[in-house]
Amino acid sequence: MAIENTLAQSVCKVVETLYGQSVDEKTIQLQATRKEFEGDYTLVVFPFLKISKKSPEVTAQEIGAELQRVEPLVSKFNVIKGFLNLSISQNHWIGTLNAIVADKNYGTTAPTESSPLYMVEYSSPNTNKPLHLGHIRNNLLGFSLCQILKANGNRVVKTNIVNDRGIHICKSMLAWQKFGNGETPESSGKKGDHLVGDYYVRFDKEYKAQVKELMGKGLSEEDAKKQAPLMVEAQSMLKKWEDGDADVRALWTMMNNWVYKGFDETYQRLGVGFDKIYYESQTYLDGKAKVNEGLEKGLFYRREDGSVWADLTKDGLDEKLLLRSDGTSVYMTQDIGTAQQRFREFNIDKMIYVVGNEQNYHFQVLSILLDRLGFSWGKDLVHFSYGMVELPEGKMKSREGTVVDADDLMDEMIATARETSDELGKLDGCSEEEIANIARICGLGALKYFILKVDPRKNMTFNPKESIDFNGNTGPFIQYTHARICSVLRKAQESGFQLPTALPEDMEVSDRESSLIQNLANFPEVVRQAGKEYSPALIANYVYELVKEYNQFYHDFSILKESDDQMKAFRLLLSESVAKVVKTGMGLLGIEVPERM
């Protein structure tokens, strides 16, 4: 931040003036003053004791007095042992607030044509089942990361790779063929992705019964799984698909289209989208071609059964299958083909894959293989590895039909938001249309915030009841505060009070009010840090702390009833700036904030 840089430079000059020895600016330790002490920034003076040859207290006192004399930013100071607490002048904070008020896009930087181009892959669903809670975390992290990267002045391409081919797809197709009796989304009244997902579960149920029967006849579990008629048929169907069988392809196209329509409805409702969608069925052939090219160059090898492998033992890993013995491809092959298409189509500076941490090994391998195949960007791929999301009851299993469906979860969150708002009387006087919209914004905001406030690298437990609370570190608490500020601003406008475009910098405000401005001043740095660390959680928790501090200010100070017009204008502009930062910050998380609630 600019203020910290200015203070650090001044400290360097003061230390040289006082003790005749220069110090590196990087050694200056400045941090926000702890709330129990007076001051805005604290300087650690212990690193200067060798050159001052004085006690920590005396050194801090001397540096503080000289800083106050030469640096206009410092209005006063106090010393606590080896720590120098510096208070920033009122003029600076009012000037800062004026700058925030004047900047419509405060905290963000718009990209230009020459900005770096980031491509972010997220979602990556299979077309054999609907999106579930795990996909929700993936989509929310991916979309938010794109918003944050864009706010840091980068160009961003939001992309998705749909896993629309493979054995898992054939399982749903085969089950529908055998047990579906021509059922369609229209005839059943089900969303297409849900209908196809039901047949994936049905396949698993029938397959397990066959395995059990074969094991009862004396086969080992491993042999029973391979020889089960359903699995043999599914493998045969996959081979027919890759050979271009017209009937298999027609069935595949029909069922995939059902799924895509269902996915689009879920994405739209969740508020996420993509600039470019790739399909595995259109990229895997490129991948196979690159693998065969690598085989010819001696980069890979073929085993006796005809399968193609990469030996990665010299890289500290093991051997990786790239093509099965029947010539069919695996995920790794498809990812090689997709990466090649993307870099051919876009001049990407950075490729980021938003994929769960159970795939850490996969992306280690992908990076090595792309580099080995001669792609200069292979080593620079970023795997945004995030933790798993569970429910209080434990893990979910899609094959067994025990996942939490994304659509059902959104329905539940919106219904709970409406019920909670009704109980608290927050929707009194609203029309039915307003109530439905507020419940939607609040329910989805609760879901998104609860997931995004957690460090993405950590596993998390999603608790629907906890997330919808109107108190504490939740989306509804932040949304309600934004609506409260909007209400205050509306009342001021209705009373005819005119807000100035700027405030006089010599006006006196309290330490709490100065602290709130300082918190607002931190926002651009939080956005920068969130982009650097790929962490929406930094934004989420910053906004919560800002809102918590504003609510304390709202409780302690009069705004609309303030008799001094200048002070009233200051507090209204301060409130307006908090609302602006809250709206921007929540927008970076893909969360709407209502003006009424």
Phi-psi region of 132 (alpha: psi -120 to 50; beta: other; left: phi over 0): beta
pLDDT at residue 195, as a whole number:
97
Q: Which residue has the higher pLDDT, 251 or 433?
A: 251
Q: The tokens 């203020």 sit on which residue? A: 3
Hey, what amino acid is at 162?
A: V
pLDDT at residue 398, as a whole number:
44
Fold annotation for 406-588: Isoleucyl-tRNA Synthetase; Domain 1 (1.10.730)
pLDDT interval class at 471 (50, 70, 90) = confident
pTM (predicted TM-score): 0.89
pLDDT interval class at 396 (50, 70, 90) = very low
Report how far residue 466's alpha carbon sits from residue 139's, in angstroms, rounded to the nearest whole number. Answer: 21
pLDDT at residue 394, as a whole number:
53
> So where are the chain's domains?
2-88, 122-390, 406-588
DSSP secondary structure letter of residue 359: G
Residue 324, helix vs strand vs coil: coil
Report how far residue 391's alpha carbon sits from residue 137's, in angstroms, rounded to the nearest whole number. Answer: 13
Average pLDDT of 174-200?
Answer: 96
Report how far residue 28's alpha carbon sits from residue 31's, in angstroms, rounded to the nearest whole number. Answer: 10
Q: Which of 285, 306, 298, 289 is nearest to 372 (CA)?
A: 298
pLDDT interval class at 561 (50, 70, 90) = very high
Look at domain 122-390 and name its CATH class: alpha beta
CA angle, 547 then 571 then 89, to 5°:
90
**Does the pLDDT of residue 399 top 50, yes or no?**
no
Output 96-100 pairs: Cβ under 8 A, ≥24 positions apart: 96/517, 96/518, 96/520, 96/521, 97/503, 97/517, 97/520, 97/570, 97/573, 97/574, 97/577, 98/502, 98/503, 98/505, 100/517, 100/520, 100/521, 100/577, 100/580, 100/581
Q: Which residue has the higher pLDDT, 365 or 465?
A: 365
Q: Which of 26, 41, 114 is nearest to 84 (CA)?
A: 41
DSSP secondary structure letter of residue 325: T
Say if residues 450 and 474 touch (Cβ distance below 8 Å): yes
In this structure, how many other beta carbons lie within 10 angstroms of the beta carbon of residue 513?
21
Beta bridge partners of 79: 84
Q: Which residue has the higher pLDDT, 398 or 223?
A: 223
In this structure, how many other beta carbons lie within 10 angstroms of the beta carbon of residue 587?
16
Say if residues 211 and 229 touch (Cβ distance below 8 Å): no
Both tokens of residue 516?
Answer: 């709130």
- Sign of the torsion formed by the C-alpha atoms of 131, 137, 138 and 144: positive
Both tokens of residue 532?
Answer: 């650097």
pLDDT at residue 402, as a whole number:
54
**Does the pLDDT of residue 489 top 60, yes or no?**
yes
Report how far residue 545's alpha carbon sits from residue 515's, in angstroms, rounded to the nearest whole number. Answer: 12
**Does the pLDDT of residue 93 top 80, yes or no?**
yes
Beta bridge partners of 77: 86
Residue pLDDT, tens place only, 142-183: 999 999 999 999 999 999 999 998 889 999 999 999 999 999
Average pLDDT of 511-529?
Answer: 94
Say if residues 559 and 489 touch (Cβ distance below 8 Å): no
Q: Which of 34, 40, 30 is nearest to 96 (CA)?
A: 40
Fold annotation for 2-88: Gyrase A; domain 2 (3.30.1360)
CA–CA distances in Å: residue 29 to residues 18, 57, 80, 280: 18, 16, 15, 51
Pairing outcome for strands 389-390 and 460-461: parallel
Residue pLDDT, tens place only, 26-42: 889 999 899 889 998 99
**Does the pLDDT of residue 463 top 50, yes or no?**
yes
Both tokens of residue 137?
Answer: 């975390």
Distance of CA 41 to the CA centre of its chain: 30
CA–CA distances in Å: residue 3 to residues 15, 84, 217: 18, 16, 77
Residue 487: which residues within 8 A CB-CB, separation 6 or more? 596
